[in-house]
Amino acid sequence: MSVKASPTAAAAPAERREQPAASPAIAHASMANAIRALAMDAVEQAKSGHPGMPMGMADVATVLFTRFLKFDPATPAWPDRDRFVLSAGHGSMLLYALLYLTGYEAMTIEQIKRFRQLGSITAGHPEYGHAPGVETTTGPLGQGLANAVGMAIAEKHLAAEFGDSVVNHKTYVIASDGDLMEGISQEAIALAGHLKLNKLIVLFDDNGISIDGALSLADSVDQIKRFEAAGWSASRVDGHDPAAISSALEKAQKSEKPVLIACKTTIGFGAPTKAGKASSHGSPLGADEVKGARERLGWKPAPFEVPADILSAWRAAGARSKAALADWNRRLTALDGVKRTEFDRRMKGAISQQALTAAIRTVKESLAATPKEIATRTACEFALESLIPALPEMIGGSADLTGSNNTRTKAMKAITAEDFSGRFIHYGVREHGMAAAMNGMALHGGIIPYSGTFLVFSDYCRPSIRLAALMGKRVIHVMTHDSIGLGEDGPTHQPVEHLAALRAIPNLLVFRPCDAVETAECWQLALEANDRPSVLALTRQNLPQLRNRLDADNICARGAYEIAGPDGHADVSIFATGSEVAIAVDGAKLLAERGIAARVISVPCFELFLNQQEEYRRAIIGNARVKIGIEAAVRQGWDAIIGSDGIFIGMTSFGASAPYKELYKKFGITAEAVAHAALTKLGKF
Ligand SMILES: Cc1ncc(C[n+]2csc(CCOP(=O)(O)OP(=O)(O)O)c2C)c(N)n1
């Protein structure tokens, strides 16, 4: 599949390509070569990086950025800009070069010179939040493509809500062979095809090369047929022919389906010996090769220098959408005042604190008046009944477990290809695609996505959860069936190590509420955390309501608090989360019968607790002689609370298939076990 670049092929674009619309005086090839030169120079200077992809895709990117992409470097957060996702994040220099050339103020030539250096905004792979114009963090292949699906869903939903006079943009993606080989891409393209996301346009860098060599070593998929089978419109073009690229993009503007344009390119285009070869993929070309490439491309300026006429043609391309932006501003101003204020609020990601507080208060008042012995997944639905009408930015979903996850309230309408005004997404059995699409929605803005699956399948979502945490985006994962407490489905479905594994991800809040009241409070905390993702781990089995008093404050906000205990000194402190808090309370009662005073601390969120001031942490951890932790999961992570000499009652193996009460007995997670362990440690046995 790979196209070998011959010297003629390398020189060809300059002669036969038409001129860009942005600046008729400058040939397309010169503009594309500016990208190639910057990529070569930056990688050479950094002594690391990936020159091959930017050199290969320079023509495609030039056509896209000079003729099609709607964007304004001076207004990078313009809500109605087209989104551009470089899914093949290893080609980061392509994006940095484009941002510099089109005139993003922060992306100076100095930053390009400091590619991959500490403190620069030009990280090895594009990092969301480092540089304006970087729409998402990419590098783990497949993620960007799946993020883009979420962005395109967000666009359609917000257009349905606010009208296409203010929301009407495209989502463009550059994806590589690696992106398309990753499993997540199948989930993403299937969902996009099903929802007929016709404003999603993927430019596939069809270069037939990956790290190990020719793609034929490991892949023989016909991508055109694959995408067509998923409901896309797909075509193939010469990725070095601007006219062909342009006409494919032109056609894509009016598509009724998502669009794949497979662009046949030569990796490392222009390099004399490495073009078309894996050797140009991920390391500096070397001085001789760079020299040869410059000769072939006819590029004479010194390293990092872009001739003034070429730079000004690029800057003109960057200014192309100024009139569109002005028109958009006029249309926004013409919106009804209430709608406009709401649009601004939504795009800023500012929740209505008043609406949220009132919704949670309603839930808590109801629970104080009529306590509920229900599973926390059911409590979640109860909370959502108040939250969904109060917070229109919440878009729910489930990976084909809607009835089990309880993430859909009665009034919620599903999003369909024909009608995007709904607020619930049937993601299908696509946990990874779901989590990545949620990131895309959060990145797009205007939406707080939440979803549902079983906690054990957090493994299937983990790469995207990690990226949400790295990017600091508010996405909320409702993960039910959170322990052996799910019972008969057995060890394949019973999470054991998952809480520890999720808690290991920096910047992720893992909530495990113990009853209906804590569930409502944890929802509030997740929604208020506008710069980080959350997981709500919820039970399948019913739990008693332990909090019967109406608390005006959010008692879960500090991550851990004493939920039961003696007024004075305690000999034993029992820490527990979720379903095990009730067991801890019962254990404390058994100890009281033996004259031992025990306090019970509910720990709905480790991360929030461990971030409290030392004074609070000390007070909660306390100085009882015996510290016990209970969680129907592995011990890892618990020593921070109970100390390495604390007693842990939990799981040391996988679970088993049986009714859940029997499982708790079999694995020794009982009130009796708690009392026995405490008494033994106190020498009372
Ligand atoms: C999930 C994931 N696995 C592995 C890698 C390491 N990696 C970076 S690029 C790449 C494949 C390169 O092939 P291709 O995607 O075709 O890019 P090209 O060589 O054409 O630039 C791999 C395996 C990664 N970035 N992400």
pLDDT digits (tens, 9 = 90+) for 331-343: 999 999 999 999 9
Nearest atom, ligand 1, residue 207 CA: 20
Ligand 1 within 6 A of CB of 53: yes
Dist CA 526 CA 535 (whole Å): 8
Question: Cβ–Cβ contacts within 10 Å for residue 633, how many?
Answer: 30
Give yes or no for a contact between 513 and 376, defined as CB atoms under 8 angstroms apart.
Answer: yes
* Residue 289 a catalytic site member: no
Nearest atom, ligand 1, residue 179 CA: 15
593 CA from centroid of ligand 1 (Å): 63
Dist CA 330 CA 337 (whole Å): 13
278 CA from centroid of ligand 1 (Å): 11
Ligand 1 within 6 A of CB of 207: yes
Interior/surface letters 527-552, b for 16+ CB within 10 angstroms, e for the rest? bebeebbbbbbbbbbebbbbbeeeee
Nearest atom, ligand 1, residue 181 CA: 15
List residues bridging with 576 in a β-sheet: 602, 630
> How high is the pLDDT of residue 108?
98
Ligand 1 within 6 A of CB of 94: no
Among 527, 625, 631, smallest CA distance to 575 is for 631
Dist CA 93 CA 109 (whole Å): 12
Question: Cβ–Cβ contacts within 10 Å for residue 16, how many?
Answer: 13
Give yes or no for a contact between 138 and 88, defined as CB atoms under 8 angstroms apart.
Answer: yes
> How high is the pLDDT of residue 247?
98
Give φ, ψ of 458 to 5 degrees.
-60, -25
Dist CA 573 CA 306 (whole Å): 67
CA torsion sign for 476, 89, 431, 470 is negative
Residues of the chain with pLDDT under 50: 1-20
| Atom 8 (ligand 1) nearest CA | 90
From 2, 60, 90, give the residue whose CB has the most ligand 1 atoms within 8 Å, as the site to mutate. Answer: 90
List residues bridging with 27 in a β-sheet: none
Dist CA 422 CA 160 (whole Å): 9
453 CA from centroid of ligand 1 (Å): 29
> How high is the pLDDT of residue 480?
98
> How would DSSP label each residue in 381-425?
HHHHHHHHHH-TTEEEEESS-HHHHT---TTPPBP-SS-TT-SEE
- E strand or H helix that includes residue 573: strand 572-576
Catalytic residue among 289, 431, 518, 631: 431
pTM > 0.75: yes
> How high is the pLDDT of residue 568?
86
Share of the chain above pLDDT 70, in %: 96
Nearest atom, ligand 1, residue 53 CA: 21
| Atom 19 (ligand 1) nearest CA | 210
> How high is the pLDDT of residue 543?
98
Chain centroid offset of residue 373 CA = 34
| Atom 9 (ligand 1) nearest CA | 90
Ligand 1 within 6 A of CB of 397: no
Ligand 1 within 6 A of CB of 296: no
| Number of residues that this document lists for the chain | 685
Give yes or no for a contact between 415 and 449, defined as CB atoms under 8 angstroms apart.
Answer: no
Give yes or no for a contact between 476 and 393, defined as CB atoms under 8 angstroms apart.
Answer: no
